[in-house]
Amino acid sequence: MQTHLRAITGNEAKTGEGPLDALKEFYRAFNAADMTALEAIWVEGEAPSMDNPIGGIRRGWGAIAEGYSRLFEGPAKVQVAFHDFTSQGGEDWHLFVGRERGRCETPEERLDVAFRTTRWFVRMNDAWRQLHHHGSVEDPKMLADYQRLIFGGRAKGSQYQGIADTKV
């Protein structure tokens, strides 16, 4: 297992390290709200999954894409960097476990955000693709404020409102 203390924003140069380059591409695409690039980095079809307090549990690329679209088309802009992470993997899988920090902004308000994050990549047809993401929040007040900014008020129907152990 390797421990990485540097931050990944997506602006870093590719190094030829397949899974690490895929991680960088995910953060580049997410921070740019680039749906085409996000689709290219995720596994196709019904296999991928995501679990976080904004999108809930989503299975399949279609449901994951709908969650990203809802976030990107909403009033808030979210930018994060992945840091303080470990990585381990094999020939066709790689797991990154760490933290995200960043900012959520609307025209009226700015909020510093922090998440615990796990991203699992697999190699398919010689390309590294994200198969699973799980995120959680340690600070219940930050989560409530984050949900308010994302949803524009109370978290509409969010099963996670006020629960501290969930994420974006």
Question: Using CA atoms, how far apart are residues 150 and 146, in angstroms rounded to an integer?
Answer: 6
CATH fold of 2-151 reads Nuclear Transport Factor 2; Chain: A, (3.10.450)
* pTM of the complete model: 0.88
State how beta strands 49-52 and 127-136 pair: parallel
pLDDT tens readout for residues 31-49:
999 999 999 999 999 999 9
* Helix residue ranges, H only, the chain: 18-31, 35-41, 61-72, 140-151
Which residue, 85, 100, 109, is CA-closest to 168?
100
Residue position matching structure tokens 């398919």: 124
* pLDDT over 90, % of the chain: 82
pLDDT tens readout for residues 94-116:
999 999 999 999 999 999 999 99
- C-beta neighbour count of 125 within 10 angstroms: 5
Residue 138's contacts (CB-CB under 8 Å, 6 or more residues apart) are 114, 116, 164, 165
What was the pLDDT predicted at 6?
84
pLDDT tens readout for residues 49-61:
999 988 899 999 9
